[in-house]
Amino acid sequence: MTRLCIKRLNGQTTDLDLTAAIYSIGRSAENDIVLDGGRVSRHHGRLERDGDSYAIVDLESHNGTFVNGMRIQQPARLNLGDEIGVGPHVLVYGPPAEAVTIPGPVTVSLEKDYAVLLSEATSVFQKASPAGEETRPPGAAQKEQRTLRLLFDLSNALSALYSVPEVSEKALDILLESTRAEQGAIFLLDEYRSLHLATVRVRNAPTDAHPIVELSSTIADRILKERKGILTADAATDDRFAHGYSVVVRQLRSLACAPLLGKSGDLGILYLENNKSIGAFTREDLSLLCAVASQIGLAIENARFFDALKRTNEELEQIVEERTAALRETQLKLFQTEKMAALSRLVAGVAHEINNPLGALRSNLDLLIQMFGRAATSPGRQPEEAALFENLTSLGQTSLLACGRIGAVVRSLTAFVRLDQAEFKPASLNDGVQTVLQLMGPSVRQGIRLTTRLGDLPEIPCYPALLNQALMHLIENACQAIKQSGEVTIETLRQGDYAVIRIHDTGRGIPKEHLPRIFEPGFTTKGVGVGVGMGLAVAQRIIQEHHGTIDVESEVDQGCLVTIHLPLAGN
């Protein structure tokens, strides 16, 4: 059987025979092993049986769980003799030298540790003093106990606080409880070394009170200069301070102040006052105040570091968010540019391959038509032969028309990618709409009626190829939204300094909850192989590049209206 030896701060041990499969550890009373103290989380960790041994698991505690001094990131299997650190407690896994077994839940309380510490300190003190010989002033032991208690409480409380106001308030509350101070304050130095009242606490003050404490500049200067605590039984009659303005005006009596010193230098002043009594503070109070001040100084410094760390973290998170957004933007641009480049290459190759034979076909047909025409009308030609040649001429003309159609399709293709217009230049939006429709026309499903209402628009400076691409994505969406039959209307018009393009469809519409997401790259409701969710994202990007806006209004089963505004001036 294995045991857990719980070592308390004073060196005493409490042992627990490990028989159950799981032991919960934490500050909360429901735990099997209850450990208190500021650095122990309510549900801190768990001891779990792992084969013939146990493993320690940290339950995302604030201050972590340690095995042999190393903070664990995942369950750690224990070997005999391993030391588990939980807050200020050490739990040793394995049989201790002289184990005392206590059944049931075990509570290790810092309060109890403190009591044991005190009783030990007192017994040591009593042993050191021979019986009957009182070598120390009466009450000295109590004072020491009080000092010890105060420092202990303070360090315990401050270790769990990470903000300067919390640290200051807690420290002042403990000081008001432990001394005869009527009020206490903490003054902090700013970057220009000016003192500012940071926190003030008044004995028995209502919670909504906003008391103000003024620190005599004579006293403040002296403390900061000498870096020592100051005590006065009656400031009004103390030669050092009696002439000070606030000493006179506020009729200050008993004061005790100490400098707040951190590792990085002076931080401020810790100040206690009691204006009701003379001599409210003793020399011991002053030593205590100096000891407390050094603890508060460190805690304030830690809190500031923590705060700086938190801010740096927030800044880092912000940077990561910005970089992620920029990356997404670049991805989108890349996607769009690559898609366009691939299409351009394809179109350029196809156009070249078609145009060359088409040229030959056309000139041959021209020649044949001329020859058949001449042959049909040559003198002495038999009527049947003449009719044959006329038929052949007419066939040649039909073939020439077909060649013209092929030429028009090739021209549309090149116009769509605007191989000749890749740069920023004035172009007609209406021409763009027509080119896109000419290209898409043959692939539009039966039952979809494409209508255009093209208004009077001047040419606008733009990247024509990109705008065509945006239009194609939008018209494609409109057609895909129509279930069986319906209408897609493309309208252009001028509104003040803007060219407006409206693409309206009578399709299935967009549910309200989808509307905020439709421009997200990758958002699609279409099946696999139908959509990749890039159409609207690319269109939006292109319109934004032209300093325009794109808006979508839609309701389920009520169709969809996409409105684009583009500045006529191009910016």
Ligand X SMILES: Nc1ncnc2c1ncn2[C@@H]1O[C@H](COP(=O)(O)OP(=O)(O)OP(=O)(O)O)[C@@H](O)[C@H]1O
Q: Which stretch binds Mg ion (CB under 5 A): 3-11, 49-57, 486-494, 532-540?
A: 532-540
The answer to whether 535 contacts Mg ion (rule: CB under 5 A) is: yes
Cβ proximity of 201 and 176 under 8 Å: yes
Among all chains, which residue has been given the structure tokens 């077994």? 101
Q: Which does 331 bind (CB under 5 to 8 A by kind): Mg ion, ligand X, none?
A: none
Q: How far is the CB of 326 from ligand X (least distance, A)?
A: 21
Cβ neighbours of 4 (radius 10 Å): 23
Give the residue from 86, 81, 91, 94 showing the smallest Cα distance to 65.
86
Residue numbers 208-247 binding ligand X by CB under 6 A: none
Q: Which does 5 bind (CB under 5 to 8 A by kind): Mg ion, ligand X, none?
A: none
DSSP letter assigned to residue 177: H
Give the residue from 172, 143, 178 showing the smallest Cα distance to 158.
172
Q: Which is nearer to Mg ion, 20 or 342 (CB)?
A: 342
Q: How far is the CB of 358 from ligand X (least distance, A)?
A: 32
Question: Between 421 and 460, how does the x/- string for binding to Mg ion read (CB under 5 A)?
Answer: ----------------------------------------
Strand partners for 450: 488
The answer to whether 477 contacts ligand X (rule: CB under 6 A) is: yes
Q: How far is the CB of 536 from Mg ion (least distance, A)?
A: 6
Q: Which is nearer to ligand X, 224 or 332 (CB)?
A: 332
Q: Which does 478 bind (CB under 5 to 8 A by kind): ligand X, Mg ion, none?
A: ligand X
Rg (CA), the chain: 44
Q: How far is the CB of 537 from ligand X (least distance, A)?
A: 6
Q: How far is the CB of 471 from ligand X (least distance, A)?
A: 12
| Six-digit token string for 34 | 């209850």
Cβ neighbours of 361 (radius 10 Å): 15
State which of residues 95, 96, 531, 567 lies at the interface with ligand X (CB under 6 A): 531
Strand partners for 35: 108
Q: How far is the CB of 335 from ligand X (least distance, A)?
A: 10
Kindly list the distances between the CA atom of residue 129 and the CA atoms of 124, 141, 199, 397, in Å, as whole numbers in the listed order.
Answer: 9, 12, 43, 131
| Six-digit token string for 30 | 């429901």
Q: Which is nearer to ligand X, 31 or 540 (CB)?
A: 540
Q: Which does 339 bind (CB under 5 to 8 A by kind): ligand X, Mg ion, none?
A: none
Helix (H) or strand (E) holding 34: strand 33-35
Please count the residues of this chain forming the interface with ligand X, following the rule CB under 6 A. 23
Q: Which does 95 bind (CB under 5 to 8 A by kind): Mg ion, ligand X, none?
A: none
DSSP letter assigned to residue 215: P
CA distance 284 to 339: 81
Q: Which is nearer to ligand X, 460 or 481 (CB)?
A: 481
Q: How far is the CB of 370 from Mg ion (least distance, A)?
A: 50
The answer to whether 244 contacts Mg ion (rule: CB under 5 A) is: no
Helix (H, G, I), strand (E, B) or coil at 43: coil
Q: Which stretch binds ligand X (CB under 6 A): 122-130, 165-173, 434-442, 473-481?
A: 473-481
For 227, phi and psi rounded to 5 degrees?
55, 40
Kindly list the distances between the CA atom of residue 553 and the CA atoms of 423, 504, 559, 566, in Å, as whole numbers in the listed order.
Answer: 32, 10, 9, 18
Q: Which does 189 bind (CB under 5 to 8 A by kind): ligand X, Mg ion, none?
A: none
The answer to whether 304 contacts ligand X (rule: CB under 6 A) is: no
Strand partners for 344: none
Q: How far is the CB of 317 from Mg ion (least distance, A)?
A: 33
Cβ proximity of 27 and 111 under 8 Å: no
Q: Which does 174 bind (CB under 5 to 8 A by kind): ligand X, Mg ion, none?
A: none
Q: Which does 560 bind (CB under 5 to 8 A by kind): Mg ion, ligand X, none?
A: ligand X
Q: How far is the CB of 472 from ligand X (least distance, A)?
A: 10
Q: Which does 570 bind (CB under 5 to 8 A by kind): ligand X, Mg ion, none?
A: none
Cβ proximity of 237 and 243 under 8 Å: no
Q: Which stretch binds Mg ion (CB under 5 A): 19-27, 164-172, 455-463, 528-536?
A: 528-536
The answer to whether 477 contacts Mg ion (rule: CB under 5 A) is: yes
The answer to whether 536 contacts ligand X (rule: CB under 6 A) is: yes
Helix (H, G, I), strand (E, B) or coil at 32: coil
- E strands, 303-440, are 425-427
Longest dimension (CA), the chain: 162
The answer to whether 537 contacts ligand X (rule: CB under 6 A) is: yes
State which of residues 94, 461, 533, 567 lies at the interface with ligand X (CB under 6 A): 533
CA distance 253 to 233: 7
Q: How far is the CB of 464 from ligand X (least distance, A)?
A: 21
- C-alpha triplet 523, 528, 532: angle, nearest 5°: 35
- Spell out the residues 6+ positions from residue 555 whose beta carbon is closer than 8 angstroms to its own: 509, 510, 512
Q: Which stretch binds Mg ion (CB under 5 A): 123-131, 180-188, 244-252, 530-538?
A: 530-538
Q: Which is nearer to ligand X, 297 or 535 (CB)?
A: 535
Cβ proximity of 542 and 470 under 8 Å: yes
Residue numbers 488-527 binding ligand X by CB under 6 A: 505, 507-510, 514, 518, 523-526
Q: Which does 296 bind (CB under 5 to 8 A by kind): ligand X, Mg ion, none?
A: none
The answer to whether 478 contacts ligand X (rule: CB under 6 A) is: yes
Q: Which is nearer to ligand X, 201 or 508 (CB)?
A: 508
Q: Which stretch binds Mg ion (CB under 5 A): 321-329, 357-365, 527-535, 547-555?
A: 527-535
Nearest-10 Cα torsion for 76, 80, 85, 89: 150
Helix (H) or strand (E) holding 375: helix 283-377
The answer to whether 559 contacts Mg ion (rule: CB under 5 A) is: no
The string of DSSP codes covering 113-140 is HHHHHHHHHHHHHHHHSPTT---S-TTH
Binding stretches for ligand X (CB under 6 A):
473, 477-478, 481, 505, 507-510, 514, 518, 523-526, 531-537, 560
Binding stretches for Mg ion (CB under 5 A):
477, 535
